[in-house]
Amino acid sequence: MSIQQSSKPKILITGANGLLGQKLVEQLVERGSFEVIASGKGDCRLTGEGYSYMSLDITNPKQVEEVLQELAPETIIHGAAMTHVDECELNQEACVLANVKATEYLVKAAEKIGSHFIFVSTDFIFSGEDGHNPYDEEAEPDPVNFYGESKLAGEQIVKNSKLDWSIARTVLVYGIANDLSRTNIILWVKSSLEQGKEIQVVDDQVRTPTLAEDLALGCILIAEQRALGVFNISGSDLLTPYEMAMETADYFQLNKDLIKKTDSTKFKQPARRPMKTGFIIDKARKQLGFEPKTFRAGIGILAKQIILARS
């Protein structure tokens, strides 16, 4: 492991191989306000340069303790998590280990070095059924699935710590990253319609979809300003998945007649989904200067990235 010496404050990213992690590293390197240390499970899947990478198993308390002692990062953005909602429901032990225990180990080790700890959380800590959507930072959590429960437990660990802490809550993150096979609603709609497939899309759920680049920027603004407390970091357009699909078809000039409205009762999934979430982002706008892209602009960014990935 080689960590270059630098006079800049160190920032450690967990989950750096994931969608958010890749965008964080890319933007942090570009902005140049921190010495960037990316960490993840196994080998580095990041491209580019200007950062150090280390393999870190955050479910191993001894390893977490040793690495944090050695690196002593001023700031930690904890983005690593088990985020597949149905897998969390079906494999609750693994979910607790990844989302609760790992957070506990990181917080404990961070307390010894006094890092600013930024925890990435989710709209799934809410039920989406109480008529309070879109939610602000003061709303009462009430998760309806195990993933939401695990992320709420992570939030509590962070809030109860002795650290300077921040929580960045987000909603339905979409984007494209290197070496990641996970799809998103835009890619799914685009490829289905291009193949002439009819698709069923729900119109009884509401979200504020978030471009991965915007979420990364929101987290970085929190880090740079050392802003403390809870921040909603999401897109600003309140949309149903059906509306997202229609807008995607419209952007790529594909056949909208193939998109059929349905509702959540038609889908049998192991984990319940909150019906209507979405976030009010006034606090992040005012305090951080956060301004997300519109959903349509987000589609445009993905369209460019699809072309670049093919070239």
pLDDT in tens, 60-110: 999 999 999 999 999 999 999 999 999 999 999 999 999 999 999 999 999
Of the candidates 215, 211, 184, 177, which has an alpha carbon nearest to the alpha carbon of residue 46? 177
Q: How much of the chain exceeds pLDDT 90, in percent?
A: 91
* Angstrom distance (rounded) from CA 173 to CA 57: 24
Residues 6+ apart with CB under 8 A from 173: 19, 20, 209, 210, 211, 212, 215
| pLDDT confidence tier of residue 295, bands split at 50, 70 and 90 | very high
Given a cut of 90, is residue 179 above it in pLDDT? no
| pLDDT confidence tier of residue 5, bands split at 50, 70 and 90 | low
- Say whether domain 10-173+210-236+277-293 belongs to CATH 3.40.50.300: no
Given a cut of 60, is residue 269 above it in pLDDT? yes
* Six token digits for residue 92: 């609750």
pLDDT of residue 97: 98
* Angstrom distance (rounded) from CA 302 to CA 299: 5
* Angstrom distance (rounded) from CA 67 to CA 44: 17
Of the candidates 137, 139, 133, 141, which has an alpha carbon nearest to the alpha carbon of residue 278? 133
Q: Domain limits of the chain?
A: 10-173+210-236+277-293
pLDDT of residue 4: 54
> Virtual CA dihedral for 44, 121, 283, 184, nearest 10 degrees?
70
